[in-house]
Amino acid sequence: MARANPSKKTPGSQDAIALLKADHRQVEEWFEEILKARSEDWKRDLATRICNALKVHATIEEEIFYPAFLVATEDTDMHHEAEIEHKGAKQLIAEIEATSPDDEYFTPKVKVLSEMIKHHVKEEEQPGGMFSEARDSKMDLDQLGEQLAARKAELEGEADEGDDSTPPRGQRERREPGRVMKSGR
């Protein structure tokens, strides 16, 4: 199995799995913050960040990563389970977006979404999980990383249109739009 050619890598680039894991870490951080937050405004802000980030993340996985994974591995069980988990998360995201922190179900919904995402992330990242299987396949993770980063930047740009707010705390340049790739196989 061919390994990375370091000369092909652009500075600051990530492969597909590194990009997806970085998204996971960012959302985990925000979930920790929201579950400790006292201010309703801060909770609303964090909930908006979480929901937007998860919608973008799910979209790039569903449009780019999951189809490539399915072609490369033919693992329909793992693929379909991930798709079903996304569907459940999207439903809860919509419910959270339709309510506010003063709703008695807001915090429980956020907590359940956090637990759903933790479960999903664990399944993707664990040994023998989707990311491990992807690394062992012939997927070109560098090229997929570039595609994911480009689509992510496009989706984030659409989400930012009309949004005059400053970049979220903790997000400043953790989310580098542009190149995100690593070595290909």
pLDDT along the chain (185 residues), means of 10: 41 86 98 94 97 98 97 97 97 97 95 97 97 96 96 88 46 31 33
Residue 100 covered by a domain: yes
Report pLDDT for 10: 56
CATH code, 24: 1.20.120
Report pLDDT for 130: 97
Helix axes 40-60, 16-36, angle to 10 degrees: 160
Residue 138 covered by a domain: yes
Structural domain containing residue 41: 15-158
Residue 41 covered by a domain: yes
Report pLDDT for 139: 95
Report pLDDT for 178: 33
Report pLDDT for 163: 52
Q: Into how many domains does the chain fold?
A: 1
